[in-house]
Amino acid sequence: MIFIGNHVSVSKGYAAMGRHALSLGGDTFAFFPRNPRGGRSKAAAPEDMAALRQLLAKNGFGKLVVHGAYTMNVCAAKEEVRANSLEMLRDDLIRLQALPGNYYNFHPGCHTGQGAQTATAQIAAALAAAVHDAEEISGLPLQNTILLETMAGKGSEVGGTFEELQAVLTQAAQLGGDALSARLGVCLDTCHVWDGGYDIQNDLDGVLRAFDRVIGLKKLRAVHLNDSKNPCGSHKDRHEKLGQGSIGAEALRAVVRHPLLQDRPFILETPNDDAGYRTEIQTVREWMA
């Protein structure tokens, strides 16, 4: 069994997000704690956070997959961009201390000409610094697990290969030890890995073996379930509705049903409205039956 849901808006509050997800048939969901394009996040009332926690427990939700802002780039060439991105990361982690036991997922970033080797070191350093500060400011150990997202490898994106993600995880562990390493994982995006050249349509088992060999399947904590508008290896990152893209329904059904991917939250990021997400959630449930 997997948990299935989609992105919902935090604009009406935290408990409202849970009710919205339920209305669509979901038992997990994703949200941006701030504007996806950056900017400050609204303060959350403790009672609103508590109401969401109660709703999740009552309705048997899986772990949530909170998403960092798209503009966050902790490996940018410009120091000011890196500093602002680190502040966003730190602020998100502190805020989410009140919503424990979930996942915080973010795009590793773009090296903007510095090269992947420099970028992976910067991402690792940012993770170590942000977690240290979040724990110090909140007075609590980190309450959630941070996920690096697999990327399509367009432009100077970091994370287009499993090896680049593992480089970040390894260097972060060197900086923060076992305690930090235990709080880091990966979110596998089906569109991104496909666009990045991993053929999950014809060789899903092989892709998962490669992931296990390089990173370890125990680090694969969540899945973004998306079809793609592009052929395998295009490095373009264009999401499509389930079954309407080049990956196709049969291959995505195999992902949902794969025994090595069970008990994880699956998040839809397809180009849909509420009605479309409700339909896709029902489709995924039928695939699981």
Domain extent listing, the chain: 3-288
Length of the chain in residues, anyone?
289
Digit-coded pLDDT (tens) for 125-173: 999 999 999 999 999 999 999 999 999 999 999 999 999 999 999 999 9
Measured from the Cβ of residue 275, the count of other Cβ atoms closer than 10 Å reads 9
Query: Averaged over 53-64, what is the pLDDT?
Result: 97
Quickly state the pLDDT bin for 92 (edges 50, 70, 90).
very high
pTM score, two decimals? 0.96
Of the given ranges (32-46, 53-67, 134-148, 272-286), which has the lowest mean pLDDT?
A: 32-46
Establish how many alpha carbons lie within 13 A of residue 118's alpha carbon, considering only the half-sphere containing its beta carbon: 12
Q: Tell me: domain 3-288, CATH 3.30.930.10, correct?
A: no
Query: Averaged over 65-91, what is the pLDDT?
Result: 96
Decide if pLDDT at 38 tops 80: no
- pLDDT > 70 in the chain, percent: 98
Decide if pLDDT at 119 tops 70: yes
Residue appearing with tokens 């991993």: 198
Cα–Cα distances (Å) from 37 to 41, 70, 73, 117, 178, in that order, read 11, 6, 11, 26, 33
Residue appearing with tokens 């995505």: 252
Could you tell me the sign of the dihedral formed by the alpha carbons of 217, 185, 112, 174, in that order?
negative
Quickly state the pLDDT bin for 43 (edges 50, 70, 90).
confident
Quickly state the pLDDT bin for 5 (edges 50, 70, 90).
very high
Q: What distance, in Å, lies between the first and last C-alpha atoms of the chain?
A: 9
User: What is the predicted pLDDT for the residue at 113?
Assistant: 93
Quickly state the pLDDT bin for 44 (edges 50, 70, 90).
confident
Query: Averaged over 76-89, what is the pLDDT?
Result: 96
Give the residue from 245, 254, 251 showing the smallest Cα distance to 227: 245
- The mean of the pLDDT values for the chain is 96
